[in-house]
Amino acid sequence: MPDVAAIADAMRGHRTLVVTGAGISTTAGVPDYRGTPDRRSVEYEDFVLHEIWYRYLWWRNEMSWTLLRQVAPTAGHRALARLEEAGPVIGIATQNVDGLHTLAGSRQVAELHGTFDAVVCLHCGARFTRSRMSEMIRDLNPGLDFPAPPLAELEIIAAKDEESAQLNPIEVPPCPHCDGMLKPDVVLFGEPLPKAPVRAASALAGACDVVLTVGTSLDVSTGMWVVMQAMESGARLVVVNRGPSQADRLADLVVDGGADDVLPGLADVLLGDAP
């Protein structure tokens, strides 16, 4: 049984910044994947410089969109929204691009790796919704089908997918304002983090007394950066994760558990709803 009472004790009367990773969304059906050196994904440079990867990433992105738009927030996402509404949580810095924190009702969400729910023009900077992009793609490709792929096949592996990329039939619509190249508003490998969420996360890190990491091993350096910022301004660290994380050795409290097992109970205890 995860030690919910100990986390509640650490948070009570303090301002908590929550740092989340893929582990909070896996029970919603969002896969946890990332490129590794031997499974290299398509990187920012491939995307902007090579038309086959530009078109292929959009093709796969459209299929992922059909899947992701059906995904609902988990009990963990909802518990964090309750904790923000009631006060103990001042905000969330997330490595996830699935938009589920916002969908669950959280307001202060710094999406450090961008969001799947928006599209940005690389030329004029125009930003619009992913659903509008989907309409544009389908208008331009009337005969094409975009089936939701099996979860295990969502990831693009450059070496494995090159032949499919060559054969890929999609036409990608240009920016409706300037005809420029469009990019999903998510951070691709090799691309810098977006400035606004970095600033927001930094401000939250400076304002919190406790930083709580949930569902991330912190192997991705973004989450660790936020944790270090918070700790440098005096915050205590609580880690909730299945399995070890990079921050365990720095933490005041480490709880081995999943977001759905821990956060709803934590919200009940802190908000006085526990039996």
Whether the CB-CB separation of 28 and 100 falls below 8 Å is answered with yes
Site for Zn ion in 177-206 (CB under 5 A): 177-178, 180
Query: Least Å distance between CB 230 and Zn ion?
Result: 36
Whether the CB-CB separation of 110 and 197 falls below 8 Å is answered with yes
Site for Zn ion in 88-147 (CB under 5 A): 121, 123-124, 126
DSSP state of 105: T
Q: Give the x/- contact pattern for Zn ion in 50-69, rule: CB under 5 A.
A: --------------------
Query: Least Å distance between CB 133 and Zn ion?
Result: 13
CA atoms within 13 A on the CB side of 28: 27
14 vs 177, which CB is nearer to Zn ion? 177
Where in the sequence numbering do the catalytic residues fall?
Answer: 113
Q: Is 120 helix (H, G, I), strand (E, B) or coil?
A: strand
Query: Least Å distance between CB 201 and Zn ion?
Result: 27
How far does the chain reach from its first CA to its final CA, in angstroms?
Answer: 17
58 vs 146, which CB is nearer to Zn ion? 58
The residue count of the chain comes to 275
22 vs 175, which CB is nearer to Zn ion? 175
> 235-260 as b/e, with b when 16 or more CB fall inside 10 Å?
bbbbbbbeeebbbbeebebbbbbbbb
126 vs 220, which CB is nearer to Zn ion? 126
Contact between 6 and Zn ion by CB under 5 A: the answer reads: no
Footprint of Zn ion on this chain (CB under 5 A)? Answer: 121, 123-124, 126, 175, 177-178, 180
